[in-house]
């Protein structure tokens, strides 16, 4: 029971404890609340930084204690979990700063930030969970903690969105739990293992395991918003902008995608998935989602709804990479987990800025907005170009890797999907950029926020600029050892232990 | 037919009368009486059916019946007090055959 | 600790407390009552700790053994139930202290007299009921079970009647139900005694052979006890009785009193009746339980009154309890039984929290019509939060006691391939989510610009004690190891849980 034993739990609790303390604060204790928020976020980052170095050197951190006979709560920090943990912790800090500015003077802030922190704890727990039991536990906690955020505004529309959100996610969660329990009765308790935990069991349970796989993918696919299970995501757009940013970039959608990643790599194992022939189905499902959601995004006029459909399609890239199999495609899929998160959060920050400062909610209202808000629109453009896959931005790196991976794993049809989706991305993002820069505003902005000398509040402006810079940096320095790409390559070498499938093709 | 069997059969009869009154009657006092008859029936069956010791009564059922009677008396008292309260607060209709129960 | 009469102390302490409260002048009732409650909870927890540390205990009252004397027997299962009673009872006592006090402020002397009398009676009867509940859990013979059960029932009826008004007919109906239920149970005892000539649970179990008589005894006992536990379709009496009682009493009834009859049924199943007799009846009970889960949840969804909604949710949750009679004997190891016992304690905490919270909300709003509560949430965050914590357990979402027991339920159902049970358990959880979130949405709904309901101030104790129970329900999901280990003490279900989990 050393310090190292408790480290993963401390990472989870570093946001849980301040969150619970925030609930007790009065509405007007702004300083105390901000201090608690930032203290939690920075403590978490510091703890994670310590863990990243350890994991890089091959150290494994694990907290484990029994919850039920046969089932342990396991928090396990290896390479793949650390990727997701770092992503969530960094983006969380930025989103917290953004939310503090965004929610200034609105009611119910203690409640909001309380649940916000519980939410990051749940996400960290999902990231670090070392077995399915722990995963389900935090996965459902995430549902509970995000509901208050979705309905935060308290309007009829928000409550309706909350109801739809719950109907989807709770049904998915219940199905997941049933499938997990069933799997445990078939093969007994097991932990996530790099290379697959079920490898030793597959002689006599083929059929049951195939059915369970699809049930679990479908229930995780609710949160990952795989078509046709994506219905909650565009509706949940009524939530405040920081919440949408969070739902889309880090927490909910990613929890589903990350769950599928772990299911394939750490539960079934890539060889077993290939043997059962499950990967192709997954890749086809992801491709349908990519194309369908891109088409839907094309016809949206509300900016946030368009971004929502764009999320549906972009998250499916991750699943596509996982489904295609082969080390290169895996790298592309997993690295997109990070890249998409950073790009999408930039876009949502910018959309929030437009709505909060100028009252602009629709794409048709964005004519000439770049002159009024140059920094915001610059960040938006970087995010949008990244999504399209323009080099040298982050999105290009993941799409390129995915594409070469598709060729390497013998599925050239996936290239066509990628190309079509990139064209569609351009078709729905570029008009916004064009309108903002090259057209004149027809009428005055619906609302003119008072922001002093800057185009909007500093705490609203800094977060998108930082994340936009990250998008550029992750693209330009993709080959440096500190980049997400290098880290993902490290992960994939551990998932694919056999040397001849090395990933020297980059 | 030995005497103890008569007790059992009579007890069973009382049980059915009690259940009938409890299920069919609506007047609260009648239902209360039904429950009382039901318990008397059970006690008689207990005394009659439980005679196992040859040459002398078995003490245990007797003790049980005594305790049971005490319970039944206090339950009846509680029930009557409740009926009285309902009558005071809600008037005659609520305890009658056509009451809202 | 071996020699100390801890079992009888857990019964005597609340009993003496009831006596003290009755003898002291009425204005000291609350102070005396809360003191006795704390003492009772302490005595009970001492007993539980002793059982957890040094195994099952037996006590012969006054040195007399069976058949004439009374034997008390505690193993892990009964210890867990006693712990549940102590925790829920202790918290509800604190709640009641503020609940019955808060009404006094009207100034009308006649009303104050009524309220004062109500408060005094609550403490007297509740402590008596507490003693009787512990008595049931400690009894080792069939007749003693009958006596203590009857005391619990009569006490519960009187507690319901405390509310007056529309609670009186509900109490009357409850009285008939509880009387006939226990008489049917007694009839079963008579039949068993005439067959085996003993009343002691374990001896009766050893010598009872499968046959018509055992069958008949089982059926009458099951009908009587299922009636008192409010299993569908015998649940008709429960919603009005639980909803119209004072909130503290509703919590006690839903959390503890229905668990008493459930406990007796489980004991009969495991100890007394041979498997060949109880198997078909168990399957039937499980089927009724499944229907109850769906039907009760559906009815809860349709209710207009908050406390009625919570009461119907109890009808649904009782359904889960009865699943164990099908699953328990069937599964390997004791996963089914453990699931039922764990479900009982987590439901006790969760439902206690929800009734206490509903009482606090209704007290503040002045009524409990759900539709007219829009926009009160922001000012009643504490009780709504407590309601939500209880709701998590009810929905079976992690982390909560309800989640652990649901996990065990599905484990034992999946092990035997019973898909219908798995689906019903999952569906029941979703329906529970539907009605819980119907209430919780109120907490987030923005107040309408005009016509927002005005709120009366309520003591903070009401919200906090509900929150404590809700937190216990959640904690049961994070620390399931200790309670489940306690359930293994003396192996009340014959087998260990671990035998079923690892294939």
Residue C1's pLDDT is: 58
What end-to-end distance do the CA atoms of chain B give, in Å? 43
| Interface touch A154/C411, C-beta < 8 Å | no
For residues C70 and A466, the model is more confident at: A466
Q: Between chain B and chain A, are at least 3 CB pairs below 8 A? A: no
* Partner residue facing B79 (CB), from C165, C175, C194: C175
pLDDT in tens, A389-434: 988 899 999 999 999 999 988 888 999 999 999 999 999 999 999 9
For residues C500 and A56, the model is more confident at: A56
Instruction: With a cut of 50, say whether residue A499 has pLDDT above it.
Output: no
Answer yes or no: are the C-beta atoms of C310 and C358 closer than 8 Å. yes
Residue A502's pLDDT is: 44
Residue A260's pLDDT is: 94
Place of tokens 């391939």: C417
Parent domain of A494? 278-506
| Interface touch A166/C480, C-beta < 8 Å | no
* Partner residue facing C433 (CB), from A151, A170, A189: A170
Q: Is the peptide bond before A159 cis (omega within 30 degrees of 0)?
A: no
Question: How far is the C-alpha of C336 from the C-alpha of A40, rounded, in Å?
Answer: 42
Q: List the structure tokens of A333.
A: 């899929």
Average pLDDT over every residue of A266-271: 87
| DSSP letter string, A69-93 | TTEEEEEEE-HHHHHHHHHHHHHHH
Nearest to A263 by CA among A311, A334, A330, A322: A322
pLDDT in tens, A20-29: 999 888 888 8
Q: Is B30 exposed, middle or buried, given 0-12, 13-18 or 19+ CB atoms closer than 10 A? A: middle
Domain residue ranges of chain B, discontinuous segments joined by +: 3-94
Distances from the Cα of C306 to the Cαs of C297, C302, C363, C459, C473, in angstroms? 14, 11, 12, 20, 20
Residue A347's pLDDT is: 93
Q: How distant is the alpha carbon of residue A131 from its chain centre?
A: 20
Instruction: With a cut of 70, say whether residue C74 has pLDDT above it.
Output: yes
Going by pLDDT thresholds of 50, 70 and 90, the confidence category of residue C496 is: low
From chain C, the residues in CB contact with A222 under 8 A are none
Beta bridge partners of A62: A76
Please name the residues between 216 and 255 in chain A that touch chain C, using a CB distance below 8 Å.
Answer: none
For residues C163 and C318, the model is more confident at: C318
If one counts every other C-beta atom within 10 angstroms of the C-beta of residue A29, the result is 15
3-state helix, strand, coil in chain A (%, to 5): 75, 5, 20
| Interface touch C187/B42, C-beta < 8 Å | yes
Share of chain C above pLDDT 70, in %: 94
Instruction: With a cut of 70, say whether residue C93 has pLDDT above it.
Output: yes
For residues A163 and C374, the model is more confident at: A163
Instruction: With a cut of 50, say whether residue C502 has pLDDT above it.
Output: no
Residue A20 located in a structural domain: no
Residue C229's pLDDT is: 93
Least CA distance to A109: which residue of chain C?
C378
Write the ipTM: 0.89
Residue A505's pLDDT is: 39
From chain C, the residues in CB contact with B50 under 8 A are 190, 193-194
Identify from C129, C190, C224 which residue to disrupt to test chain B contact, counting B C-beta atoms within 10 A and taking the largest count. C190
By three-state DSSP, how is residue A129 classified?
Answer: strand
**Does an H or E element contain A67, and which?**
strand A61-68
| Interface touch C498/A70, C-beta < 8 Å | yes
Q: How distant is the alpha carbon of residue C296 from its chain centre?
A: 17
Residue A503 located in a structural domain: yes
Domain count, chain A: 1
CB of C441 less than 8 A from some CB of A: yes
Instruction: With a cut of 50, say whether residue A503 has pLDDT above it.
Output: no
Distances from the Cα of A337 to the Cαs of A323, A481, C232, in angstroms? 14, 18, 49
* Partner residue facing C481 (CB), from A67, A158, A159: A67
Average pLDDT over every residue of C181-206: 86
| Interface touch C179/B19, C-beta < 8 Å | no
Question: How far is the C-alpha of A429 from the C-alpha of A42, rounded, in Å?
Answer: 34
Average pLDDT over every residue of C272-277: 88
Please name the residues between 436 and 475 in chain A that touch chain C, using a CB distance below 8 Å.
Answer: none
Cβ neighbours of residue A6 closer than 8 Å, sequence gap 6 or more: A63
Residue A210 located in a structural domain: no
CATH for B3-94? 1.10.287.3510
Going by pLDDT thresholds of 50, 70 and 90, the confidence category of residue C491 is: confident
Alpha helices in C268-334 (DSSP H): 275-302, 306-330
Distances from the Cα of C273 to the Cαs of C141, C206, C207, in angstroms? 14, 9, 10
Please name the residues between 263 and 302 in chain C that touch chain B, using a CB distance below 8 Å.
Answer: none
Instruction: With a cut of 50, say whether residue B101 has pLDDT above it.
Output: no
Answer yes or no: are the C-beta atoms of C147 and B64 closer than 8 Å. no
From chain B, the residues in CB contact with C158 under 8 A are 78
Question: How far is the C-alpha of A477 from the C-alpha of A397, rounded, in Å?
Answer: 10
Question: How far is the C-alpha of A343 from the C-alpha of A467, rounded, in Å?
Answer: 7
Residue A221 located in a structural domain: no
| Interface touch C430/A163, C-beta < 8 Å | no
From chain A, the residues in CB contact with C480 under 8 A are 67-68
Q: Treating both helix axes as pointing N-terminal to C-terminal, what angle do A109-128 and A132-150 enclose, rounded to 10 degrees? A: 160
Identify from A151, A185, A212 which residue to disrupt to test chain C contact, counting C C-beta atoms within 10 A and taking the largest count. A185
Per the rule left: phi > 0, alpha: psi between -120 and 50, beta: everything else, A2 is: beta
* Partner residue facing A182 (CB), from C414, C444, C503: C414
User: Measured between CA atoms, how close is C82 to chain B, in angstroms?
Assistant: 24
Q: Is the peptide bond before C70 cis (omega within 30 degrees of 0)?
A: no
Going by pLDDT thresholds of 50, 70 and 90, the confidence category of residue C195 is: confident
* Partner residue facing C150 (CB), from B35, B71, B82: B71
Residue C501's pLDDT is: 41
Beta-strand relationship, C57-60 and A71-77: unpaired
Going by pLDDT thresholds of 50, 70 and 90, the confidence category of residue C14 is: very high
Place of tokens 């905490």: C349
Going by pLDDT thresholds of 50, 70 and 90, the confidence category of residue C107 is: low
For residues C136 and A451, the model is more confident at: C136
| DSSP letter string, C405-455 | HHHHHHHHHHHTT-HHHHHHHHHHHHHHHHHHHHHHHHHHSPPPSS-PPP-
Average pLDDT over every residue of C54-82: 83
Q: List the structure tokens of A72.
A: 């342990």
Residue C108's pLDDT is: 77
| Interface touch A171/C430, C-beta < 8 Å | yes
Instruction: With a cut of 70, say whether residue C265 has pLDDT above it.
Output: yes
Residue B98's pLDDT is: 58
Q: What is the CA radius of gyration of chain B?
A: 17
Q: List the structure tokens of C450.
A: 């005009």
| Interface touch A171/C407, C-beta < 8 Å | no
Least CA distance to C178: which residue of chain B?
B75
Beta bridge partners of C200: C141
Answer yes or no: are the C-beta atoms of A495 and A193 closer than 8 Å. no
Report chain A's mean pLDDT, rounded to a whole number.
87
From chain B, the residues in CB contact with C146 under 8 A are 68
| Interface touch A69/C410, C-beta < 8 Å | no
Please work out, in degrees rounded to the nearest 5, the angle formed at the alpha carbon of residue C321 by the alpha carbons of C316 and C327. Answer: 125
Q: Is the peptide bond before C406 cis (omega within 30 degrees of 0)?
A: no
Answer yes or no: are the C-beta atoms of A262 and A136 closer than 8 Å. no
Kindly report the backbone phi and psi dihedral angles of residue A314, in degrees, each rounded to the nearest multiple of 5, phi listed first: -70, -35
Share of chain A above pLDDT 70, in %: 95
pLDDT in tens, C379-402: 888 999 999 999 999 999 988 999
Least CA distance to A178: which residue of chain C?
C410
Please name the residues between 157 and 176 in chain A that touch chain C, using a CB distance below 8 Å.
Answer: 158-159, 162-163, 166, 170-171, 173-175
């Amino acid at each position: 029971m050393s310090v190292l034993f408790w480290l993963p739990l401390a990472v989870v609790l570093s946001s849980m404890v301040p969150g619970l303390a925030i609930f007790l604060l009065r509405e007007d204790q702004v300083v105390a609340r901000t201090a608690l928020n930032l203290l939690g976020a920075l403590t978490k980052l510091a703890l994670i930084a310590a863990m990243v170095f350890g994991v890089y050197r091959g150290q494994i951190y694990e907290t484990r204690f029994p919850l039920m006979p046969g089932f342990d709560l396991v928090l396990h920090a290896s390479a793949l979990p650390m990727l997701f943990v770092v992503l969530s912790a960094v983006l969380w800090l930025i989103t917290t700063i953004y939310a503090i500015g965004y929610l200034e003077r609105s009611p119910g802030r203690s409640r909001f930030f309380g649940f916000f922190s519980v939410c990051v704890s749940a996400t960290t727990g999902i990231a670090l969970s070392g077995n399915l039991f722990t995963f389900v536990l935090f996965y459902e906690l995430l549902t509970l903690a995000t509901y208050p955020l979705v309905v935060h505004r308290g309007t009829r529309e928000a409550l309706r969105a909350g109801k739809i959100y719950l109907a989807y996610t709770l049904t998915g969660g219940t199905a997941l739990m049933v499938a997990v329990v069933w799997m445990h009765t078939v093969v007994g308790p097991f932990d996530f293992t790099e290379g697959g935990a079920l490898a030793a069991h597959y002689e006599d349970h083929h059929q049951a395991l195939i059915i369970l796989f699809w049930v679990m993918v479908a229930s995780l696919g609710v949160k990952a918003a795989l078509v046709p299970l994506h219905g909650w995501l565009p509706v949940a757009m009524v939530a405040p902008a920081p919440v949408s940013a969070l739902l889309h970039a880090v927490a909910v959608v990613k929890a589903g995608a990350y769950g599928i990643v772990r299911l394939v790599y750490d539960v079934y194992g890539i060889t077993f998935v290939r043997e059962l022939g499950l990967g192709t189905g997954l890749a086809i499902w992801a491709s349908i989602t990519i194309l369908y959601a891109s088409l839907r995004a094309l016809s949206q006029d509300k900016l946030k709804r368009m971004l929502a459909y764009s999320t549906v399609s972009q998250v499916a890239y991750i699943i596509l990479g996982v489904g295609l199999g082969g080390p290169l495609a895996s790298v592309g899929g997993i690295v997109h987990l990070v890249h998409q998160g950073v790009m999408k959060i930039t876009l949502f920050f910018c959309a929030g800025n437009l709505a909060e400062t100028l009252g602009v909610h629709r794409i048709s209202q964005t004519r000439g907005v770049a002159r009024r808000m140059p920094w915001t629109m610059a960040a938006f453009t970087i995010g949008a170009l990244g999504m399209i896959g323009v080099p040298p931005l982050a999105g290009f790196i993941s799409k390129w890797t995915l594409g070469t991976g598709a060729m390497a794993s013998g599925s050239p049809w996936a290239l066509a999907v990628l190309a079509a989706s990139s064209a569609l991305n351009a078709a729905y993002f570029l008009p916004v950029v064009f309108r903002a820069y090259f057209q004149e505003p027809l009428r005055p902005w619906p609302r003119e926020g008072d922001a002093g000398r800057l185009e909007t509040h500093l705490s609203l402006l800094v977060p998108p600029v930082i994340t936009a810079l990250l998008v550029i940096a992750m693209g330009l320095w993709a080959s440096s050892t500190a980049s997400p790409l290098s880290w993902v390559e490290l992960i994939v070498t551990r998932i694919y232990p056999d040397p001849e499938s090395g990933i020297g093709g980059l | 037919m030995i005497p103890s069997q008569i007790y059992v059969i009579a007890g069973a009869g009382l049980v059915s009368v009690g259940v009938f009154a409890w299920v069919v009657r609506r007047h609260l006092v009648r239902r209360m009486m039904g429950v009382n008859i039901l318990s008397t029936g059970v006690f008689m069956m207990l005394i009659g059916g439980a005679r196992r010791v040859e040459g002398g009564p078995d003490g245990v059922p007797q003790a049980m019946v005594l305790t049971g009677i005490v319970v039944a008396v206090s339950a009846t008292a509680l029930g009557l007090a409740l009926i009285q309260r309902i009558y005071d607060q809600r008037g005659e209709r609520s305890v009658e055959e056509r009451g809202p129960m | 600790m071996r020699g100390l009469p801890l079992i009888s102390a857990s019964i005597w302490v609340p009993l003496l407390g009831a006596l003290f409260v009755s003898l002291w002048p009425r204005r000291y009732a609350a102070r005396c009552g809360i003191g006795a409650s704390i003492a009772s909870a302490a005595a009970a927890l001492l007993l539980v700790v002793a059982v957890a540390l040094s195994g099952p205990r037996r006590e012969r009252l006054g040195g007399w053994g069976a058949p004439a004397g009374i034997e008390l027997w505690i193993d892990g299962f009964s210890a867990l139930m006693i712990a549940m009673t102590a925790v829920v009872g202790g918290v509800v006592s604190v709640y009641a202290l503020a609940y019955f006090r808060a009404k006094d402020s009207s100034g009308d002397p006649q009303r104050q007299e009524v309220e004062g009398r109500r408060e005094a009676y609550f403490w007297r009867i509740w402590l008596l009921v507490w003693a009787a509940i512990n008595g049931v859990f400690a009894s080792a013979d069939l007749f003693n079970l009958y006596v203590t059960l009857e005391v619990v029932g009569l006490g519960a009826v009187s507690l319901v009647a405390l509310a007056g008004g529309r609670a009186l007919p509900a109490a009357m109906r409850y009285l008939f139900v509880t009387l006939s239920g226990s008489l049917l149970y007694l009839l079963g005892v008579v039949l068993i005694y005439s067959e085996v000539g003993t009343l002691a649970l374990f001896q009766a179990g050893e010598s009872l052979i499968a046959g018509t008589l055992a069958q008949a005894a089982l059926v009458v006992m099951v009908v009587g006890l299922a009636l008192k536990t409010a299993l569908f379709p015998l649940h008709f009496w429960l919603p009005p009785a639980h909803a119209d009682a004072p909130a503290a009493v509703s919590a006690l009834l839903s959390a503890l009193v229905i668990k008493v009859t459930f406990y007796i049924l489980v004991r009969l199943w495991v100890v007394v009746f041979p498997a060949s007799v109880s198997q078909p009846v168990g399957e039937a009970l499980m089927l009724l339980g499944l229907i109850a889960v769906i039907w009760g949840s559906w009815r809860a969804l349709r209710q207009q009154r908050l406390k009625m909604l919570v009461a119907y949710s109890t009808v649904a949750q009782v359904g889960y309890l009865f699943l164990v009679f099908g699953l328990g004997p069937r599964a390997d190891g004791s996963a089914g039984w453990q699931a039922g016992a764990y479900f009982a304690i987590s439901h006790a905490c969760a439902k206690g929290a929800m009734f206490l919270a509903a009482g606090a909300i209704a007290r503040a709003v002045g009524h409990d019509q759900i539709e007219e509560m829009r926009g009160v949430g922001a000012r009643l965050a504490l009780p709504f939060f407590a309601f939500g914590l209880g709701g998590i357990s009810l929905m079976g979402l992690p982390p909560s006691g309800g989640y652990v027991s649901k996990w065990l339920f599905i484990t034992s159902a999946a092990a035997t391939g019973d898909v219908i049970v798995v689906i019903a358990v999952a569906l029941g959880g979703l329906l529970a989510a539907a009605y819980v979130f119907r209430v919780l949405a109120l907490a987030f709904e923005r107040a309408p610009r005009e016509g927002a309901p005005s709120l009366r101030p309520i003591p903070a104790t009401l919200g906090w004690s509900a929150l404590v129970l809700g937190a216990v329900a959640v904690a049961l999901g994070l620390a399931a190891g200790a309670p489940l280990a306690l359930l293994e003490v003396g192996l009340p279900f014959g087998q260990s849980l671990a035998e079923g989990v690892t294939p």
